[in-house]
Structures are given as structure tokens and as C-alpha cells.
A and B are shown apart, each in its own frame.
Chain A
């Protein structure tokens, strides 16, 4: 019943068939499966990396946003401080200007008043002398006239002051 020839030849035949099936039947499928495995593995790794990258970007954005906010606040603060400073300077300058104007005006007034007073006094003294001459009906000579004018001026000055 046991056939040695069939035994040996079937082993040999099977090994040959195995080699052929493996080379032409199995290998391309196995290669394809390997490709798919690598593809999936690659895609998973890529997705993982993308996720990490996205997280990193998000953190960076957060940091940048915070920085920008801080900078904006600083700029606004600085601008406000500068504006305050400028306002104060302007006020001070204006005050100085005003006091200077006041001073010069006061001096001008003083001077004009003095001038006016002098003019008034000289005209009043000469008028007084003229009036006194008329009243006295006599002509005072030049020296007496001058004396009298000086006296009148002196008295007027005393009066005015």
C-alpha cells in the first residue's frame, strides 16, 4: 500500500510547486501587503507629526498673541505718558509766555503813563504860568518864567505823586 516512489516524488513535486506558487503567486501579494502596511504606517506617522506640528503652531500663536497684546499695551501707555508730558510742557510754556506778555505790557503802560504824566505836567505848568501871567497882567521874563514853571512842576509833581 505504501509507495516509496509516490512518497519521494510527491515531496519533490510539492517543493517545486511551492517554489513556483511562492514566486509567481504569493510574492506579489505579499509585496502589496507590505506596501499597504508601510503606506498605513507612514500615514499614521504623518498624521501624528501633523498633529504635533499643529499643536506647536498653536502654542506659538498663543505666545505671539500674548506678546503682541503686551506690546500694544506698552505702546499705548508710552503714548499716554508722552501726551501728558507734552500737555504739561505746553501749559508751562503758555504760562511763561503769558507772564512775559503781562510784564512787558505793564512796563509799557508804566512808561506811557510816565510819559503822559510828564507831558501833562509840562503843559499844565506852562498853562499855569500863562494863566498866572494873564492874571497878573505882566510879562514875566524868561528866567522868572522858567523859575515859576519849575516851581509849578515841583508842586504838581508833589500833587500827582
Chain B
């Protein structure tokens, strides 16, 4: 288990610096890609990156159309869903492209890197990792969506509370954000953990790298999973928010 550097490690409010830094990096990558796509923005003849991003927007909009009750809601959620899907896509892929760790031998107490933790992690400090391979971060995303969906539901309190006459619905409200966040975290974390494990397989006979084909297969699969999880997280988000949009409901079960 690698030792992440923390702020406020010994309080109730520990902040994983790497996760937050990677989130910011992800945001910068997304922003740069979107700004690149906007060079030579052309209404009539889209080409290159602009075409790709337009396809992504269209894809997100169609995804939202499948799960949201009305076109107005689709247009309302579209910026958020689009940001979410492209952000999670980049975030998930960052951990597959590269995982950088450094070896640290002397403890830095104010970053929470105590001698004990360093010894447990054999001095390994990750510097470059998927932000989504952190449970707190994915749960944060899920709870954010949960709050958004309930805020949306509370705009029509009568219909909103009528739904909770069934006690199972309350259990659902607890399990939904939990599975929503944990699914993303589990998939990405497992992918990266297994990459780490495969990388640590020793050479057979001192020269035969059996880990290379395994690594290639697993990287391909992880890439697939990363893409799918970004999609799944976003479609569940639109589903949860759409389910609580009672406004102009044209209910499709």
C-alpha cells in the first residue's frame, strides 16, 4: 500500500494532496483539449478535434435523452453531464497511462508521511495517479450527484415525499450514492492495483519478462473499463437526477 502525502493527517479532515492535484491536472487537460477544439471554430464545416468534441456532446445529450423526462431537463443537465463524462474519462485514463512513484527514505511529518507509514509502504510515494482510484473522491462525486438529485426533487415536495411512503425507497437512497461512488472507485483502483502487481512480477530465469503480455492485456482491459466507467457514472447521474425531476414529467419507466 503506497503512502499518499496528506494535509492535516492527524485531524478529522485529512486531505489527499495527490488526489486533489490530479483532479486539478485532469481539469487542466480537459480545458486544454476543449480550448484546442475551439480553435478555428466553424459552424458550417467542423473538422478534426472540433468534430470529436461535437460527437462527445451529442453522445452525452443522447445519453441524457434516454434517462431524463424532458428536453428542457436534458439541456439543463448537459453541461454538467458533459463535464462529468469527459472529466472522468481523462481521470480514469491518467492512471493507466502512467503511475509515477518516488522513493522516500526520510519521513516528512507535516505531510503525514510518518516513519511508520513509510516503512509499511517501503518508502513508495505515488505522485501521478488516477484521482478516481481514491474512494473519498469518488464518494464525493456520488454524494454531489445525490445532493443535486434531491435538490431537484425538492422543487416539487408533494411528489417527492409521496415517493418515500415506501420504506424501501429510503434504503435505496442510501445504497444508490454508495454503489454509485464505490463502483467507479473499485473498477479504477482494481485496475491500477493489478497493473502495479503485474509490474512487480520478477523476470523468469532472470531475463524472460512474462509480465509484458499480461500487462498489455490488462492495460487494454483497464482502458476499456475506464471508458465504460466514465460512461456508467454519468448515465447513472442523469438517471438519478432525471428520476427526481418531477417538473414536466413524461414518465418513461
Q: Which residues of A contact B (CB under 8 A)?
A: 1-11, 13-15, 17-18, 20-22, 24-30, 32-33, 35-36, 39
Contact = CB atoms under 8 A, between A and B. Distances in A.
B125 to A, nearest CB: 16
B24 interface: yes
A46 to B, nearest CB: 16
Given A11-B143, A17-B24, A33-B57, A6 B19 contact: yes
Given A17-B27, A21-B31, A25-B30, A6 B140 contact: yes
Contacts of B135: 1-2
B106 interface: no
B79 to A, nearest CB: 5
Contacts, number: 122
A21 B30 contact: yes
A10 B13 CA distance: 12
B30 A4 contact: no
A138 to B, nearest CB: 144
B54 interface: yes
Contacts of B44: 36, 39
A29 B144 contact: no
Interface of B: 6-8, 11-16, 19-20, 23-24, 26-27, 30-31, 34-35, 37-38, 41, 43-44, 50, 53-54, 57, 78-80, 82-83, 87, 131, 134-137, 139-141, 143-144
By secondary structure, the B interface counts as helix
A14 B31 contact: no
Of A1, A14, A22, A33, chain B has the most CB atoms within 10 Å of the CB of A14
Given A13-B24, A21-B31, A33-B54, A6 B15 contact: yes
A25 B137 CA distance: 23
Contacts of A17: 23-24, 26-27, 30, 83, 87
A10 B24 contact: no
A7 B15 CA distance: 8
Contacts of B26: 17
Contacts of B134: 3, 6, 10
A3 B134 CA distance: 9
Please provide the 6 A-B residue pairs with the shortest distance between their CB atoms, ordered closest to farther.
A25-B34, A17-B27, A5-B15, A6-B136, A5-B13, A10-B140
Contacts of A21: 27, 30-31, 34, 83, 87
Given A11-B140, A32-B41, 5 more contacts: A4-B136, A17-B30, A21-B83, A24-B34, A25-B35
